[in-house]
Amino acid sequence: MISTSEWARGVIAAGFQGETFDPALPAFGAYVLFARNVSSLPQVRTLTDALRARNADETPPLIAIDQEGGRVARLRHEVEPMPSMMALGAVGDLELAGRAGEQTAFDLRRAGCTLNFAPVLDLALYRGNTVIGTRSLGSDPNAVAELGAAFAAGMTRGGILPCYKHFPGHGATPDDSHLTQPAVDAGAATLRARDLVPFAAVARHAPAIMGAHLVVRAFDDRHPATASTRIATDLLRRELGFDGAFVTDCLEMSAVTGDIATSAVAALNAGADLLTVSHRIDVALEIVASVESAVRDGRLSLDRLRQAYERVNRLRDKAQTPLPLDEFPPHPGVGREIARRAVTLVRGRSHVDPLTTIAVSFEGDIAEGINVRASAGESLRREAPALSEIVLPLDPTDAHLVEAFDAIAESGRRPLLLARRAHLHAAQARAIERVAGDYGDAVVVSMLEPFDIPLFSAAKHVLAAYGDDAAAIGGLADVLFGGSFPEGRLPVNVDRDP
């Protein structure tokens, strides 16, 4: 007979510290891996093997991870570098999306993972929304639905369970749920015709969907989606036909107001099945105690807890065994292929000679989703050592700019301006406009979301790359320096917010 405590532990997905297995780590239904748990592929495989082996006579726990591609990727060494979801959206090739999913699954199974918190089905609607940003496949709901489903189907073929996120859509607000509780003000008809479309397309067959900690006023003006019966049960299950496990985003995020343990019980009551606690084991154990207490005093029914536990167990039963570390990959090089084909020529020409070019790269801490303080990324000089380079802050001072303008003039080289969200950094936008105006042959590349492209009216040569991770930089180099033709199309509306 399973105890209430076991049921409560079984609906927790816990993050933990360290790269090695600690026998004192409490048993939960799932664990979530982060960059802090990973130093190499063999190391993380040893860790996940130990997590699975701790109770050999039981179904192994789920081992979940965020491996979206681009900036949000926990595994970065000895795996295929994958560009952002937005790069995949710029290519718009369903077969390629399937290959990307299969390759991602291959690498995750070698690591010993069983559940991937991907793909992202949020729409890229607002230029100020950096929590989603390049994590989104684009702004067209039907294209996002098709590409997301193709990526997930590839992961499923490869033996990894997909978890679509963040229901009912995080793209219609500029606020970051890691930092505050966002609210969506769009009407129900708009949301059904736009934000809900990708989720509606996959809901009946999805093994798992993750909810967002945001208030969608058209459906429930009091509770965030993860704690709203109207959204988690009435909308997602009854209207859209979802029968899988509803996973909360991390309950330690700032969007969760009030007591976390109380919020966890509210989420279960609303229809959540797997409660994510990313950082602190003591908080996970507080939630277990709170769930047990809620069952004892009638605030949470035992049937609801049992239902959540059984849904999580269905996922555990579907999980595939790991692959050998030395297994040959199904689609080697697919990440760079996506990045190369994603590069979009907005106007002008795309070829650049590194011997006669000076790159001006605007860099700094970039807030994007769960990587709140991610650094700027790879350098193009890795691909073209002959390239000269100047690195400036995202918002350069006048002194920075005077020095940079002098260096460009003294170099006698063609400027290659690498913009990062210039629409959010006024000094950067002014600097790019000035250099593009002074040098008619200057090339401007929008390195992240292409919402800054309308600012570059003085530039004759403009491209978009959708990321500055290793895969994106490699693909951009193939286009700029290697002669590959840029095939991508803008996957978002850059002219205006909806």
Q: Which residues make Cβ contacts (< 8 Å) with residue 305, sequence separation at least 6?
A: 4, 7, 8, 11, 268, 291, 295
The strand pair at 164-167 and 208-211 is best described as: parallel
What DSSP state is assigned to residue 250? Answer: P
What Cα–Cα distance (Å) separates residue 239 from each residue in 170, 171, 351?
A: 20, 21, 50
178 catalytic per annotation = yes
220 lies in the same domain as 344 = no
Per-state percent for the chain, helix, strand, coil, to nearest 5: 40, 15, 45
> Tell me: the pLDDT tens digits for 329-351?
999 999 999 999 999 999 999 99
Q: Is the peptide bond before 119 cis (omega within 30 degrees of 0)?
A: yes
pLDDT in tens, the chain (498 residues): 678 889 999 999 999 999 999 999 999 999 999 999 999 999 999 999 999 998 777 899 999 999 999 999 999 999 999 999 999 999 999 999 999 999 999 999 999 999 999 999 999 998 888 889 999 999 999 999 999 999 999 999 999 999 999 999 988 776 554 555 677 888 999 999 999 999 999 999 999 999 988 899 999 998 999 999 999 999 999 999 999 999 998 888 654 556 788 889 999 999 999 999 999 999 999 999 999 999 999 999 999 999 999 999 999 999 999 999 999 999 999 999 999 999 999 999 999 999 999 999 999 876 544 444 444 567 899 999 999 999 999 999 999 999 999 999 999 999 999 999 999 999 999 999 999 999 999 999 999 999 999 999 999 999 999 999 999 999 999 999 998 999 999 999 998 766
Task: Supply the CATH number for residue 66's domain.
Answer: 3.20.20.300
Give φ, ψ of 55 to 5 degrees.
Answer: -130, 85
376 lies in the same domain as 249 = no
- Domain limit, last residue, from 251, 284, 318: 318
229 lies in the same domain as 366 = no
265 lies in the same domain as 387 = no
Note whether residue 372 is domain-resident: yes
Note whether residue 374 is domain-resident: yes
H or E element, residue 190: helix 188-193
Note whether residue 492 is domain-resident: no
Cα(429)–Cα(451) distance, rounded to whole angstroms?
Answer: 12
Q: Is 466 helix (H, G, I), strand (E, B) or coil?
A: coil
296 lies in the same domain as 397 = no
Cα(386)–Cα(161) distance, rounded to whole angstroms?
Answer: 44
Task: Supply the CATH number for residue 360's domain.
Answer: 3.40.50.1700
259 catalytic per annotation = no
Note whether residue 496 is domain-resident: no
Note whether residue 152 is domain-resident: yes
290 lies in the same domain as 340 = no
200 lies in the same domain as 90 = yes
45 lies in the same domain as 192 = yes
Note whether residue 326 is domain-resident: no
Q: Which of 166, 178, 423, 461 is catalytic?
A: 178
Nearest to 143 by CA among 97, 192, 96, 89: 89
Owning domain of residue 355: 334-480
Buried b (16+ CB within 10 A) or exposed e, 221-239: eebbbbbbebbbbbbbbee
Nearest to 312 by CA among 105, 12, 92, 57: 12
458 lies in the same domain as 347 = yes
267 lies in the same domain as 351 = no
Q: Is the peptide bond before 400 cis (omega within 30 degrees of 0)?
A: no
The strand pair at 67-69 and 72-73 is best described as: antiparallel
Note whether residue 491 is domain-resident: no
Helical H runs in 41-125?
A: 41-53, 85-91, 94-111
The strand pair at 344-347 and 461-464 is best described as: antiparallel
- Domain limit, last residue, from 286, 318, 350: 318
Nearest to 135 by CA among 498, 492, 494, 496: 492
> Tell me: the pLDDT tens digits for 90-148?
999 999 999 999 999 999 999 999 999 999 999 999 888 888 999 999 999 999 999 99
Instruction: Give the count of alpha carbons within 13 A of 486, CB side only.
Output: 28
289 lies in the same domain as 355 = no
**Number of structural domains the chain divides into:** 2
- Domain limit, last residue, from 318, 351, 385: 318
Q: Which residues make Cβ contacts (< 8 Å) with residue 89, sequence separation at least 6?
A: 136, 137, 138, 143, 144, 147, 491
213 lies in the same domain as 349 = no
Q: Which of 66, 195, 249, 469 is catalytic?
A: 249
Q: Is 131 helix (H, G, I), strand (E, B) or coil?
A: coil
Note whether residue 327 is domain-resident: no
